[in-house]
Amino acid sequence: MRDLDITEVAQRSGVPASTLRFYEEKGLITSIGRRGLRRLFDPGVLERLALIALGRAADFSLDEIARMFAPDGRPRIDRQMLADKAEKLDRTIRNLSAMRDGLRHAAVCPAPSHTECPTFRRLLRAAASGTLGARRKRVPRSSRN
């Protein structure tokens, strides 16, 4: 495949040219020359942009993503960093799930006022204490009162 100018890369990747220039400034991608005033890129830049998009979707910062590439441009991903990010995403999912469940309950709660609803009160206490969505330790059935 021939080299791609910045307009072609933007069209194929869906990444605006301004973002491509920013990524180049940050060292995430590298142009290989120019055709007139337009930057040229190796076709492999499309895969690299896909990896950057995947990292951004997983909430990695651009600096974290930059560290995922070796100086020669090949992926060099720290597996512990991936595991740490997965744990952070798990916490976010638990928090959002607890909030969703609380909102659904509040929407159909038969209590005259939400402040009179025990479930809503638990949600308020959890939000105030910062434990909203925190993992609860499971107690074996035989140990329950």
In this prediction, what percent of the chain has a pLDDT beyond 90? 42
97 close to 133: Cβ distance less than 8 angstroms: yes
Q: Which helix (H) or strand (E) holds 39?
A: strand 38-41
pLDDT of residue 145: 44
Look over the chain and give the mean of its residue pLDDT values, rounded to a whole number. 85
Q: Of 62, 37, 34, 36, which is closest to residue 49 (Cα–Cα)? A: 62
- Angle of helix 6-13 versus helix 45-57 axis, rounded to 10: 40
Three-class SS of residue 69?
Answer: strand
Distance CA 125, CA 122 (A): 5
Output the pTM of the full model: 0.70
12 close to 20: Cβ distance less than 8 angstroms: no
pLDDT in tens, 44-92: 999 999 999 999 999 999 999 998 888 777 888 889 999 999 999 998 8
**How far, rounded to the nearest angstrom, does the alpha carbon of residue 42 sit from its chain's CA centroid?**
27
pLDDT of residue 15: 95
